[in-house]
Chains A and B, each alone.
Chain A
Amino acid sequence: MTTILCIEDEPELREDIAEELASAGYDVKQARDGHEGLQMIINYKPSLVLCDITMPRKNGYQLLKEIRENYSIFAEMPFIFVSALADRERILAGLSDGADAYLTKPIDYELLLATVKASLRQIDRIKDNQKQQYVLDD
C-alpha cells in the first residue's frame, strides 16, 4: 500500500485530508507540524508528503530545505505544499525551493488526488527506468 504523510497544524483540515486520501485507498499518516513531520518521514519513509507551510515549531519551508539538504535518501520522494499562502510569488518561491507541486487552500480535493496520482506515477516511471538501466547494465 502506498503511504502518504500529511503534515498540517489545523486539526480540522488534517483529518479531512486524511479521510479523503484514505477513501481513495492510500495509507495515511498524520503529523501536526514540521518537527513531527521530519520524525515521521524518517520512521515511515512515505511515498509522498503533503505539507502545509505556516506551522509552529518548524514550518514547511524549513522542513523541505532540511530534507533536500540533509536527507538524500528522500531525494525522490515527491513533496507537495498545501498552503493558504496563495499569491503567485509564494507559489513560484515554493516550487523553486524544490517542492514538486503547490496546491492552495481552500483545497480542491479532486485536484489534490489528481496531483498526488500524477506525482506518484512520475516516480514509478523513474524507478522503472532505473530498473531497466540495471538490466541493461547487467
Chain B
Amino acid sequence: MAARDITSRKKAEKELIRHRDHLQELVDAATADLNFKARELKRALEKEQELNELQRRFVAMASHELRTPLAIIDSSAQRLKRRLDNNELTAENVDKRVGKIRGAVQRMIRLIESTMSVARMDEGKLEVNFGPCNVAEVLKAACSSQQEISENHIISCELLDLPETIPADRRALEQVLANLLSNAVKYAAHAPVIDVTAFSAVSDVIISVQDYGIGIDADDLNRIGERFFRAKTSAGIEGTGIGLNLVKTLVEMHDGTLKVESERDKGSKFIIRIPITRQLRQEPTEKGQARLF
C-alpha cells in the first residue's frame, strides 16, 4: 500500500515538474515574442517619425522652391517696368526677360508635376499608358527644352541606332528626362558640359545623362531614389528630393531600371534601361500601379 502511495506521489511530482517546465517554456516563448513585437513596433515608430520629419522638411522646401522661380518672374516684371519707365527698353531686353520668365515657369511646372505624381503614387493611382513612343524624338525635345533655359550649359545629345519606337508612356518618359536633365544642370552649376547618350543593347534602350559637377558620396549612392532623400553634397542647393523617386518609379513601371555612378567633385551619371519590347503578361492590363517603396 505504502509503496504504491510513494510511487504515485513520485509520479505526481514528476508530472508537476514537467508542467512547470512546460509553463516556463511557454512563458519564455511568450516573452521572446513580446520582446520581438516591441522591437518591431519601436522600429516602425522610428520609421514613421523619420518619414514625418522628411515630410515636414519637404513641405518647407517646396514652398521655398516655389518662391525662387516666382522671385525670378517678379524680378523680370519689375525690371521691364523700370526700363519702360526710363525709356531704356530694347528688343534685346525683352527677349532676355522672356527667356528668364519661361525658364522659371518651366521650373515651377516640373515641381508641381512631380508633387502631383507623388501624390498619385501614394494613392496607388499613378498610371502609365503604353503606346509606340519615338525615344529619339522625346530625347531631342527634352535636351533642347533644357538647353533653352540653361544658357550656361552645353547639352550634347548623342543618339545611336535607336529603334523607331518602343512601347512606353511618352509623358512619363518626358518627366523622367526633364528631372534627370534639370538635376544635371543644377548639380553642375560650374561644369558646363552635360552628355546625354542613348543606344540600344540587345533587348533594352539605354539612356544616360552625365554631368561633371558636385557628384555624390559613395555612402549616399544606394539611397538615391528614396523619397525625399538628398545627398550630403547637395547641401545649400535647393531641392525637395522627390524628382528621382518619381523617375525610379516611372522607369520601374516600364520594367526598366535606374542606376547611378558618381563620385564627389567628379560628376554623376544616371543610366536608365527600358525594354524594347513588352513581355506579354498574365496581368489584367498593361497599366502599372505603383506604391511607395
Binding site for B on A (CB under 8 A): 9-13, 16-17, 19-20, 23, 32-33, 54-59, 84-86, 104-109
Residues 196-241 of B contacting A (Cβ, < 8 Å): 214, 235-238
Query: DSSP class of B's interface residues: helix, strand, loop or mixed?
Result: helix
- Give the CA-CA distance A9 to B64 in the complex, in Å: 14
Partner pick for A20 among B65, B79, B103, CB 8 A cutoff: B79
Q: Which residue of B lies closest to A17 (CB)?
A: B75
A60: min CB distance to chain B, Å:
9
- Between A and B, 13 residue pairs with Cβ closer than 8 Å are A10-B68, A13-B72, A20-B78, A32-B189, A54-B64, A54-B237, A57-B236, A105-B68, A105-B71, A106-B75, A107-B74, A108-B78, A109-B78
Task: Assess whether A12 is in contact with B103, with CB atoms less than 8 Å apart.
Answer: yes
Partner pick for A59 among B100, B214, B236, CB 8 A cutoff: B236
Binding site for A on B (CB under 8 A): 64-65, 67-68, 70-76, 78-79, 82, 86, 100, 103-104, 152, 189, 214, 235-238
Task: Assess whether A16 is in contact with B76, with CB atoms less than 8 Å apart.
Answer: yes
In the complex, besides A54-B64, A56-B189, 4 extra interface pairs with C-beta distance below 8 angstroms are A13-B75, A20-B78, A54-B236, A105-B68
Task: Assess whether A12 is in contact with B72, with CB atoms less than 8 Å apart.
Answer: yes
B104: A residues at CB distance < 8 A: 12
Interface centre among A9, A59, A104 (most CB of B within 10 A): A9
Q: Which residue of A lies closest to B234 (CB)?
A: A56
- Give the CA-CA distance A16 to B100 in the complex, in Å: 11
A54: B residues at CB distance < 8 A: 64, 236-238
In the complex where A19-B79, A105-B67, A106-B67 touch, is A33 in contact with B152 (Cβ < 8 A)?
no
Q: Which residue of A lies closest to B214 (CB)?
A: A56
A103: min CB distance to chain B, Å:
11
A45: min CB distance to chain B, Å:
25
> Closest 6 interchain pairs by CB?
A105-B71, A106-B74, A84-B67, A56-B236, A106-B71, A16-B75
B192: min CB distance to chain A, Å:
13
Interface centre among A9, A13, A106 (most CB of B within 10 A): A106
B186: min CB distance to chain A, Å:
10
A104: B residues at CB distance < 8 A: 67
- Give the CA-CA distance A57 to B103 in the complex, in Å: 25
